[in-house]
Copies of this chain bind each other. A is one copy, B any other.
């Protein structure tokens, strides 16, 4: 149906360094440069005047501005002014604003919380990760103003992936299915956090919770009495019954359903026996 269905995910399957070295040549030079800026050591040359600050200073200044006044307030001028320098000074550290935003996104993600030791069952560990990621996104709602899935992936992004792959790898699924479960958990976690992120953004703009609720409710409420939306109108006008959940409880409720689904699949599959060799070797 979609063209996307014609593309396999070979990029995330059975990789090895040789493939990557060969493949990275094809990457658009600008994208490669942006990626390198996230991973490189960025050690300064010895010649010339001493730099007055570091790339990380720039990133931290930008993050503080975003935190205070939203992503729109992050202008090259605002960032440099916060450091006490002129606009163009930043261009000695980042070639353009996109590269700076890449760095901001990765830095803002931070590291996932340390895994608890001794490791518990995978379900509890995955749930902890999911809540932690949601909390991270809600704490930095301005991140949602960027299409940051498309951005180059930096070390912090990878560290979040690592932190959930670790418990997922203990489920006993083969690598392909383990990767699928990664998509399921991460997809749910990000997608189901959007409402809370939206509220967090409103709060950051100084909107009260009541005002945000009123704004969202006003739009949703248009369904009431509108013949185009009978099922939804019935849903939101139904008595809420016993105990309405908080947003976070709702998120956890949904997460438990997702984990149930994964568990059911695990129960229906024969455990995967890991091979002693871990190098990828294509079948003959």
Asked if A187 lies at the interface with its beta carbon under 8 angstroms from chain B, I say: yes
* Nearest neighbor of A131 in chain B, beta-carbon distance: B1
List which A1-42 residues lie within 8 A (CB) of chain B.
1-17, 19-20, 23-28, 31-32, 35, 39
- Known contacts A32-B215, A175-B241, A237-B279, then 10 further A-B pairs from the complex at CB < 8 Å, ordered by chain A residue: A3-B200, A4-B199, A10-B213, A11-B216, A11-B220, A149-B198, A153-B219, A155-B228, A174-B238, A180-B257
Chain B CB within 8 A of A280 CB: yes
Q: Which residues from chain A sit less than 8 Å from chain B, CB to CB?
A: 1-17, 19-20, 23-28, 31-32, 35, 39, 131, 134-135, 138-139, 144-145, 147, 149-150, 152-155, 158-159, 161-162, 165-166, 169, 174-176, 178-184, 186-201, 203, 207, 209-211, 213-225, 228-232, 234-242, 244-251, 253-254, 256-262, 264-265, 275, 278-283
Q: How far is the CB of A74 from the nearest CB of chain B, in Å?
A: 15
Name which residue of chain B comes closest to A251, CB basis.
Answer: B183
Q: Report whether B175 and A239 are in contact in the complex, using a CB–CB cutoff of 8 Å.
A: yes
